[in-house]
Structure 1
Amino acid sequence: MNALTLVIIAILVLVLAYRYYGCFIAAKILVLDPNRETPAHEFEDGHDYVPTNKWVVFGHHFAAIAGAGPLVGPTLAAQYGYAPGFLWLLIGAVLAGGVHDMVVLFASIRHKGRSLAEIAKDEVGRTTGAAASFAVLVIILMTMAGLAIVIVNALFKNAWGTFTVTATIPIAMFIGVYMRYLRPGRLAEASIIGTILVLLGVAFGPVIKASIWAPLFTFSETQLKILLPTYGFIAATLPVWFLLAPRDYLSTYLKIGTIAALALGIFIVRPDIQMPAFTVFTAGGGPIIPGPVWPFLMITIACGAVSGFHALISSGTTPKLVDNECDVMVIGFGAMLTECFVGVMALIAATALHPGDYFAINTSAAVFPSLAAMGYTVVDLPQLSAMVEEDVAHRPGGAVSLAVGMASIFAGIPGLKGLMAYWYQFAIMFEALFILTTIDAGTRVARYIVQDLFGKFYKPFGQINWWPGVIFTGAVVSFAWGYLLYGGNISTIWPIFGVANQLLATLALCIGTTIILKQTKSKKYSLVTFIPMVVMFITTVTAGSMSIVITYLPQGLLANAALMVSMIVAVVITVVDSSIKWYRFIRKEEGK
């Protein structure tokens, strides 16, 4: 199978889905109103509620939802072969993920920019609201820890990569000031300046690596596990326009440009997919994901197909920035399909590596010999390590194998082979930016939720702009996910993150079904959220139960098992409570 075939299929499916299915939902089901005042205008405060150009909001939203998930998930799922991941990305994004993101964003705008938990309380009841609040807090903590561990594995003892990623922070602050005070409205101008500065950061990386400044950007895993939560705390307390929005905006178009360049590279190089369509691990027993392809594929690939974390962004920072309600389709549905394409590119980059090289990167030195005995021997890995100037063997987590795959494709373009080390570090920065933007937005959303919770006991906490509350709750959230990060690794965090993420997606689709039932005259329209909700509920509860029985209890991971059970119970409560409300509502409507 040639990679070009997969790219063409993906583009056709996603473009047609946006043009027809997205428009159908916007016009017939949600009935978007361009004249309705959005929360950004109603509560404009210059800090959290700021009417913003739709393409800037698209950039922020895409950057926030497209963390490491659409990069790491498909890369890890490549152990099953290229076909399962490719099919799930397209089907999931069109029929579940795009609908999920668009409906939740619409619901939050109609509920004055309130969080998913508050919407659940209003639309279903206090029980579901409480269950949603618990689920949201758990998924945020697991998401921040799960994604941060990926960046730790990619940047430790990597002065070049760390310098490049760090440089994006002051660059974003400068662009924020530039767009707000120096040259307001000059988006194209700011984009060009910001992009040039970011690329200069990559170019100067090897200079820093070889200089006396290198120790300042060389960190151990432990140091990075402390620095990342500290960064999350600072980013979550700063005004949106100063760091979050401009860095998300810049990184989004850099990411989209990179994915477009990768697609172009695939058109030029036309690499063959080295991984078979299905591997022997589809039945289970894989070295990266121990379970079978169903249900574990659908919790491994979340972002890129359907992800509950997106509901936090769609009911967190994004609805407070939307200028016009009709922008919901571009931002909600469009960003999700764009993320799906990112996932497809990541899958191609991973599966273009020889299977032996892929498994050598994504497994530990202790595990790989058993795979070599099965025929998965190293082919090009020593040469690849030499070309990128880093030892890439046995660095699990997906980020490194993806960067190597991307660099290999770019290096295959005539005249660019000598720049493979630059392509590799650029790819690492590319992945790290996805993660940092998710940390920015996720920590901020968690702060909103904790402020709402504390506000029930002490009213000033409920005021989003009360600075003592902002600082205190930001510190609480950052410490909580930082604690999980400090004591965890990719094998202990990612599985429970996947289950928690998809259970939250189930919960969000459940609430979306309630809203559509109440809003539309034709109750059959609720099937657009009800069907994916049922599929995700069955799949994720099965995966969670299997993880408890097969993995957590045998290994004595009682805390993981307890957290998994509590998440499943919270979602079951939501589904049952909502089903009762649906039945009563439909009976009432039929009686009129």
Structure 2
Amino acid sequence: IIGRIYPIFGICLIIMALGVAIGIFTHSEYQIPEIWSNFTNMHPKATPIWSVMFITVACGAISGFHATQSPLMARCMKSEKQGHFVFYGAMVAEGVIALIWAAAGCSIYEVTDGLSTGLSAILANGQSAAIYDVCSKTMGGVGVALAMIGVIVCPITSGDTAFRSARLTLADWFGIDQGKFTKRLILCVPLLAVGAFVGHLDYTIIWRYFSWTNQTLAMIVLWTASMFLFKEKKNYWITAVPATFMSAVSMTYFFYAKECLNLGTKVAYPVGIIIAAVFFGIFMYATRKQTKAAN
């Protein structure tokens, strides 16, 4: 049932993003900073850009979470040819939306001594408060209505797809048929119980773990796709290069972040790059080994 209204949710979120973009340019008081004139770390606490930015942007950069939805989407498509438009198109669209919101954060809020103090202040009240504030300033009353929809819709759709994907994944692992309602409950009840427990934890911490897990999952999927493309004798570089990059992102954050190993940038930067290089080396070794075996 909820799948029938998903398109409406999607349209609302796209309209909200477009409204924010138009609102920025129609309000003379909002100026998007020139990137080359402000190519510095503007975080008030000097949090390093690499690789925290990619973890923070999360789905707007690259999304392992979206990769987990491929079994669901594949069952909804009539042809494999639709995959390019559905998956690639969705990620490009989300990337554009992420850029719009990044532009809003840079242009609307006060910058003090080269630091984004205004944005940090509004985010202290929660991400929903920032969404409400941006929509209100760029679109007025209409923006407030769209912001309310967005704040409600995003958790609902994310939660629904996450639980649904987890249920189907577990069903595939353990061979539990999902045709009967009772079989679905066997997996739904414990999953919802875990969700209820997580829901009482600090979401600022949960989000950081989710973001890192999301990017790490993207890394794994990219390496998997690279090997698949190699075996299919297709251009695997289109995924192997991003896989190497995301390996560096994920591993650097794991060694740097306070909620992970908290070893600082002096350790995290070189270790992250080295591990990414090792992963790339393992992949190249595996491809050459299979090539020799085939010959």
TM-score normalised by the shorter chain: which range applies? Answer: 0.7 to 0.9
Report the AA paired with residue 277 of structure 1.
N
Indicate how the Cα distance of structure 1 residues 488 and 516 shifts in structure 2: closer, same or farther if over 3 A, else same: same
Superposition map of 1:279-358 within 5 A: 280-281=41-42, 285-286=45-46, 291-314=47-70, 316-351=71-106, 352-355=108-111, 356-358=117-119
Report the AA paired with residue 64 of structure 2.
G
CA contact (8 A) 1:308 1:508 kept: yes
Residue deviations 1:78-107 (CA, integer Å, cap 9, x gap): xxxxxxxxxxxxxxxxxxxxxxxxxxxxxx
> Is 2:4 aligned against 1:246?
yes
TM-score (norm 2): 0.82
| Aligned pair partner of 1:539 in 239, 242, 249 | 249
CA contact (8 A) 2:12 2:146 kept: no
CA distance in 2, matches of 1:304, 1:530: 20
> Is 2:259 aligned against 1:585?
no
Indicate how the Cα distance of structure 1 residues 573 and 323 shifts in structure 2: closer, same or farther if over 3 A, else same: farther
CA contact (8 A) 1:451 1:469 kept: no
CA contact (8 A) 1:510 1:575 kept: no
CA distance in 1, matches of 2:63, 2:279: 18
Indicate how the Cα distance of structure 1 residues 443 and 510 shifts in structure 2: closer, same or farther if over 3 A, else same: same
CA contact (8 A) 1:349 1:409 kept: no
User: Of the two structures, which has the highest relative contact order with CA contacts closer than 8 Å and spacing of 6 or more?
Assistant: 1
Counterpart in the other structure of 1:179: none
Residue deviations 1:390-411 (CA, integer Å, cap 9, x gap): xxxxx13x22113211210113
Indicate how the Cα distance of structure 1 residues 580 and 409 shifts in structure 2: closer, same or farther if over 3 A, else same: same
TM-score (norm 1): 0.43
Report the AA paired with residue 360 of structure 1.
A
Aligned to 2:78, the other structure's residue is in SS state: coil
> Is 2:217 aligned against 1:507?
no
CA distance in 2, matches of 1:477, 1:573: 36
Q: Which is worse superposed, 434-443 or 352-361?
A: 352-361
Counterpart in the other structure of 2:155: 435
Residue deviations 1:131-178 (CA, integer Å, cap 9, x gap): xxxxxxxxxxxxxxxxxxxxxxxxxxxxxxxxxxxxxxxxxxxxxxxx
CA distance in 2, matches of 1:482, 1:576: 42
> Is 2:196 aligned against 1:482?
yes
CA contact (8 A) 2:16 2:146 kept: no
CA distance in 1, matches of 2:154, 2:14: 11
CA contact (8 A) 2:20 2:138 kept: yes
| Aligned pair partner of 2:123 in 362, 365, 381 | 362
Superposition map of 1:172-211 within 5 A: none
CA distance in 1, matches of 2:247, 2:94: 23
| Aligned pair partner of 2:137 in 400, 404, 408 | 408
Aligned to 2:190, the other structure's residue is in SS state: helix
CA distance in 1, matches of 2:78, 2:242: 29
CA distance in 2, matches of 1:452, 1:577: 29
Aligned to 2:69, the other structure's residue is in SS state: helix
Deviation at 1:551, TM superposition (A): 4.5
Deviation at 1:319, TM superposition (A): 0.4
Deviation at 1:526, TM superposition (A): 0.7
Counterpart in the other structure of 2:14: 256
TM-align CA RMSD? 2.8
Indicate how the Cα distance of structure 1 residues 574 and 312 shifts in structure 2: closer, same or farther if over 3 A, else same: farther
CA distance in 2, matches of 1:331, 1:478: 29
Deviation at 1:295, TM superposition (A): 1.2
**Which is greater in Rg?**
1
Q: Where does structure 2 lack aligned partners over 5 or more consecutive residues?
A: 112-116, 263-275
Identity %: 19
CA contact (8 A) 1:509 1:529 kept: yes
Deviation at 1:345, TM superposition (A): 1.6
Deviation above 6 Å: which 4+ runs of structure 1?
571-577
CA distance in 1, matches of 2:277, 2:145: 44
Aligned to 1:503, the other structure's residue is in SS state: helix
Indicate how the Cα distance of structure 1 residues 551 and 263 shifts in structure 2: closer, same or farther if over 3 A, else same: closer
Report the AA paired with residue 184 of structure 2.
V
CA distance in 1, matches of 2:147, 2:95: 18
Report the AA paired with residue 519 of structure 1.
E
| Aligned pair partner of 2:229 in 516, 519, 534 | 516
Residue deviations 1:479-504 (CA, integer Å, cap 9, x gap): 213212212231x2122222111110
> Is 2:2 aligned against 1:273?
no
CA distance in 1, matches of 2:239, 2:261: 34
CA distance in 1, matches of 2:290, 2:252: 30
Residue deviations 1:30-82 (CA, integer Å, cap 9, x gap): xxxxxxxxxxxxxxxxxxxxxxxxxxxxxxxxxxxxxxxxxxxxxxxxxxxxx
Indicate how the Cα distance of structure 1 residues 428 and 444 shifts in structure 2: closer, same or farther if over 3 A, else same: same
CA distance in 2, matches of 1:294, 1:446: 31
Deviation at 1:426, TM superposition (A): 2.5
Q: How many residues align?
A: 273
Aligned to 1:325, the other structure's residue is in SS state: coil
Counterpart in the other structure of 1:221: none
> Is 2:166 aligned against 1:446?
yes
CA distance in 1, matches of 2:261, 2:74: 41
CA distance in 2, matches of 1:486, 1:267: 40
CA distance in 1, matches of 2:216, 2:192: 23
Indicate how the Cα distance of structure 1 residues 505 and 445 shifts in structure 2: closer, same or farther if over 3 A, else same: same
